[in-house]
Amino acid sequence: MAIDLFKVNYSYLKEKKRRQYVIKDINLHIDEKDEFIALVGKTGSGKSTLATIFNALKIPTTGDAVVFGMKLKERRGYKDNYNKIRKHVGLVFQFPGYQLFEETVIKDVAFGPKNYGLKNEALDIAKKTLEMVHFPENKYESSPFVLSGGEKKLVSIAGILANDPDIIVLDEPTAGLDPRSKKNILSLLKELNEVYHKSVVVITHDMNIVYEHAKRVIVLKDGEISFDGTPYSLFNNNNDIVKNTNLDYPDSIRLAKYLNNELKLNLKEDHKNINELMEELIHE
Ligand SMILES: Nc1ncnc2c1ncn2[C@@H]1O[C@H](COP(=O)(O)OP(=O)(O)OP(=O)(O)O)[C@@H](O)[C@H]1O
Ligand SMILES: [Mg+2]
């Protein structure tokens, strides 16, 4: 059980003559456990569109997608079954407003577990999940619509975690969060991956997250996969891909390269984060 895409193309315009593929010829396997994937690429490269295929919100225009044993097809009667897929593959949207709709925060997070058949436990699960994302307790009864952008983001993440998915896909989960919330969410994702063996897929423009947290990075360019491998290999052995796809380097690599060039130092250029680089500088 996993996500498997075979030669998937996707066009927002369905009519044959007007089709314009924004996802092109994608072959991809995502395992149902233990993966930590960063999906990157410049604005408009197709990341969000691809993510909505993972949980059957979009169906490939051509090619096949098989998600947890079910082949995605645009046909009546399939819709209900897709709920099963969405229990396995949870997607946190880029814009949390799309996801929130209940009267209160707590009801919103409890919606998923309730929908999947849990009655009495749903509110308890919701509370636990809101605690996990460090959402302030005095706002559990607030309307989701009066929250700040960052708070909405936390509620939308909690809403998906409450369903206990095997694969959790998060579209720019830390965008708009303050540094502390960002750290909390990242350590939560690490725990979900390392302790609970969930597969985590994070869409992000933040190369520090990619280099420090991801085990695998997939780079999209104009709807195609231009790289699928380890972050180490991307940033240390594939400079051409970093350049061609307009990616940044992680801060630690960027700073080491700068210091080596400008101050003629001889620092390692593959430190995982700034702290590691500082350690080397201090001991130079
Ligand atoms: N609802 C839509 N209708 C038509 N075209 C769309 C729609 N949504 C996205 N597109 C187009 O599909 C392409 C891929 O968009 P997508 O949102 O998947 O990119 P992205 O990589 O997530 O970008 P970003 O980093 O800005 O979030 C873009 O060219 C975009 O213009
Ligand atoms: Mg996007």
* Residue 48 and residue 65 in one domain: yes
Average pLDDT of the residues of the chain: 94
* Residue 43 and residue 59 in one domain: yes
pLDDT of res. 97: 81
What is the rounded average pLDDT of the residues 47-64? 96
CA atoms within 13 A of residue 17's CA, in its CB half-sphere: 0
What is the rounded average pLDDT of the residues 98-114? 93
- Alpha-carbon dihedral sign for residues 164, 115, 172, 61: positive
pLDDT of res. 84: 87
* Residue 129 and residue 269 in one domain: no
pLDDT of res. 83: 86
- Whole-number percent of the chain with pLDDT over 70: 98
What is the rounded average pLDDT of the residues 107-116? 94
Nearest atom in ligand 1 to the alpha carbon of residue 49 is: 18
Give yes or no for residue 77 having a pLDDT over 80: no
Give yes or no for residue 76 having a pLDDT over 60: no
Token duo for residue 238: 């594939």
Spacing, Cα 103 to ligand 2 middle (Å):
27
Whose Cα sits closest to atom 29 in ligand 1?
44
What is the rounded average pLDDT of the residues 47-63? 96
* Residue 63 and residue 163 in one domain: yes
What is the rounded average pLDDT of the residues 69-75? 84
Alpha carbon distance 219, 207 (integer Å):
12
Q: Ligand 1 pocket check: which of 19, 49, 52 to mutate, most ligand atoms within 8 Å of Cβ?
A: 49
* 89-119 b/e (C-beta count within 10 Å ≥ 16 → b): bbbbbbebeebbeeeebbbbbbbbbbeeebe
Nearest atom in ligand 1 to the alpha carbon of residue 205 is: 25
Most confident range (mean pLDDT) of 89-103, 107-121, 143-157, 219-233 is 219-233
Spacing, Cα 114 to ligand 1 middle (Å):
32
CATH number, position 151: 3.40.50.300
Spacing, Cα 12 to ligand 1 middle (Å):
9
Give yes or no for residue 75 having a pLDDT over 90: no
pLDDT of res. 79: 62
Residues with C-beta less than 6 Å from any ligand 1 atom: 12, 22, 41, 43-49, 94
Number of compact structural domains in the chain: 2
pLDDT of res. 78: 60
Q: Give me Rg for the CA atoms of the chain.
A: 20
Whose Cα sits closest to atom 9 in ligand 1?
49
What is the rounded average pLDDT of the residues 236-255? 96
Spacing, Cα 66 to ligand 2 middle (Å):
22
* Residue 255 and residue 243 in one domain: no
Token duo for residue 22: 């924004």
Whose Cα sits closest to atom 30 in ligand 1?
44
Give yes or no for residue 176 having a pLDDT over 90: no
* Residue 13 and residue 43 in one domain: yes
Give yes or no for residue 81 having a pLDDT over 90: no
* Residue 171 and residue 255 in one domain: no
Q: Ligand 1 pocket check: which of 12, 24, 98, 222 to mutate, most ligand atoms within 8 Å of Cβ?
A: 12
Query: Cα dist. 277→42, 143, 255, 282 in Å?
Result: 27, 44, 9, 9
**82 or 234: whose pLDDT is higher?**
234
Whose Cα sits closest to atom 6 in ligand 1?
12
154 phi, psi to nearest 5 deg: -60, -40
Spacing, Cα 196 to ligand 1 middle (Å):
32
* Residue 180 and residue 236 in one domain: yes
* Residue 17 and residue 54 in one domain: yes
Q: What is the pLDDT of residues 192-237, one digit of tens each?
A: 999 999 999 999 999 999 999 999 999 999 999 999 999 999 999 9
* Residue 173 and residue 238 in one domain: yes
- The parent domain of residue 278 ranges over 250-284
Enumerate residues with CB within 5 Å of ligand 2 (an ion): 48, 94
pLDDT interval class at 96 (50, 70, 90): confident
Whose Cα sits closest to atom 26 in ligand 1?
43
* Residue 257 and residue 200 in one domain: no
What is the rounded average pLDDT of the residues 151-178? 94
Nearest atom in ligand 1 to the alpha carbon of residue 46 is: 18
* Residue 152 and residue 191 in one domain: yes
